[in-house]
Amino acid sequence: MSIWQELEHKYFMNTVERVPVTLVRGQGARVWDEDGREYLDFVGGWGVNSLGHCAPVVAEAVVEQVHTLIQTSNQFYTIPQIRLAELLLQNSCLDKVFFCNSGAEANEGAAKLARRYGERYLGGAYEIITAAGSFHGRTLAMVAATGQPKFQQLYIPLPSGFVNVEYNNIEAIKTATTGQTCAVMLEPVQGEGGVNLPDESYLMAVRAWCYQKGILLILDEIQTGLGRIGTLFGYEQYGIEPDIMTLAKGLASGVPIGAILAKDRASVFVPGEHGSTFGGNPLACATGYATLKFVIDNDIAGNANRVGQYLIDGLKNLRDKFQFITDVRGRGLLVAVEFSQDIAQSVLMACLARGLLVNRLKPNALRFMPPLIIGEGEVDEALAILDKTLSNI
Ligand SMILES: *Cc1c(COP(=O)(O)O)cnc(C)c1O
């Protein structure tokens, strides 16, 4: 254990079992540790570093903005947040935006917005239906929204007003809908819960049901948005439009930011009903603008789609070779492999020793979320390391 790692153990609350590497530098899809060892990064800051580490276009935007204006109060107009708002709304199906600092904060705000909508149009309805296996963040309310007992049992009693139902089951949503329901909240593809893909007609059926009942459809695109699954936003692939959408992770290349986007008719906040000190600050928004502009102008989503398919095909070849790979699934560059036994941690450590960073999704599954700018060459490299690792497991 290095001196830094010893200090970490001394000073930090014990919330995370870290991978025993201290990263000090990153460039593109590579990172380096304190001993100068190089790694190919297929974790990508948890799906954040879409343009790779320290992309020049991002670094330039940050440097320019820190010399210009970093933070003001939201009582004032600032230009970077208006430019980012316009770019986001011109390239999505939504009409209005609110900026905040993280995914959980974006989802909290979306839930509050849905409750205001319920108050205004649905006779005070406040309940939000979410799916088992979902992940919506770590605040108390979002733990209640997150349909996973392992996160919920620790914090009982949870805030009320969230109903978790079976994923990929439209009947379960219909049964759970009552006069108190104001919204359904889903991830287009469940990320943290297992890279779970929606059935062919599920999201369309949910969309139709929400229209029929006059309730809102909230899509949590914090992980799927900004090109991750092969289109700028995940909803584009499923023939639907949400009433509210949340974004965070990839939006500003690692400078903390979150966003709530809404259709005009769902945008019911009035002054004083919601706010954020740092939300939409010029630094985050200038970085977000540079990131999103690059993603759009260079069809980064198209690259994620193409290279993601190449990765999935390569992993399927490995599945044919190693019988203990039981599943390969994903969209774009949000991909998982599942094993018949709980070997994810040992595979992760063996990959690490060979210079590849991967994420343990479950005891028996790994997740890959590399930067969206990678090419086939990097995928070949990762597959070769995985192949060697799995041959020795
Ligand atoms: C990561 C994530 C969140 C939480 O975002 P934070 O920035 O960690 O608060 C919420 N929803 C989804 C789908 C996520 O992937």
290: pLDDT confidence band, cut at 50, 70 and 90? very high
Enumerate the active-site residues. 135, 220, 249
For ligand 1, what atom is nearest to the CA of residue 134? Answer: 13
- Cα separation, 122 vs 125, in Å, equals 5
Tell me the CA–centroid distance for residue 223 and ligand 1, in Å: 7
| Domain extent listing, the chain | 3-55+299-391, 69-297
Q: State the pLDDT at residue 102.
A: 98
Nearest atom in ligand 1 to the alpha carbon of residue 102 is 7
Task: For residue 131, give the H/E element and its range.
Answer: strand 127-131
Query: What's residue 353's pLDDT?
Result: 98
What tokens appear for 299 in the block?
């069809």
- Peptide bond before residue 370 is cis, with ω within 30 degrees of 0: no
The predicted-structure confidence for 332-362, as pLDDT tens digits, reads as follows: 999 999 999 999 999 999 999 999 999 999 9
**Looking at ligand 1, which atom is closest to the CA of residue 258?**
7
Domain 3-55+299-391 and domain 69-297, same fold? Reply is: no
Q: What is the mean pLDDT of residues 97-106?
A: 98
In angstroms, what is the span from residue 229 Cα to ligand 1's centroid? Answer: 15
Dist. CA 99 → ligand 1 center (Å): 15
Architecture of the 69-297 domain: 3-Layer(aba) Sandwich (3.40)
- Return all residues near 373 (Cβ < 8 A) that are at least 6 apart: 28, 29, 50, 51, 52, 55, 300, 303
What does DSSP say about strands 244-247 and 216-220: parallel, antiparallel, or unpaired?
parallel
pLDDT score for 203:
98
- For 20-72, what is each residue's pLDDT tens digit? 999 999 999 999 999 999 999 999 999 999 999 999 999 999 999 999 999 99
CA of 361 to the centre of ligand 1 (A): 14
Query: What does the alpha-carbon distance between residue 70 and residue 59 come to, in Å, rounded to a whole number?
Result: 15
Residue bearing the CA closest to ligand 1, atom 10: 136
CATH level 2 (architecture), domain 3-55+299-391: Alpha-Beta Complex (3.90)
Indicate the pLDDT class of residue 3, thresholds 50, 70 and 90: very high
Q: Label each residue of 283-331 as H, E or C.
A: HHHHHHHHHHHHHHHCCHHHHHHHHHHHHHHHHHHHHHHCCCEEEEEEE
Which of 223, 224, 233, 235 for mutating ligand 1's site (highest number of atoms within 8 Å of CB)?
223
CA dist., res. 132 & res. 181, Å (int): 17
Mean pLDDT (whole number) for 219-244: 98
pLDDT, tens digit (0-9, with 9 covering 90-100), for 367-386: 999 999 999 999 999 999 99
Segment 110-145, tens digit of pLDDT: 999 999 999 999 999 999 999 999 999 999 999 999
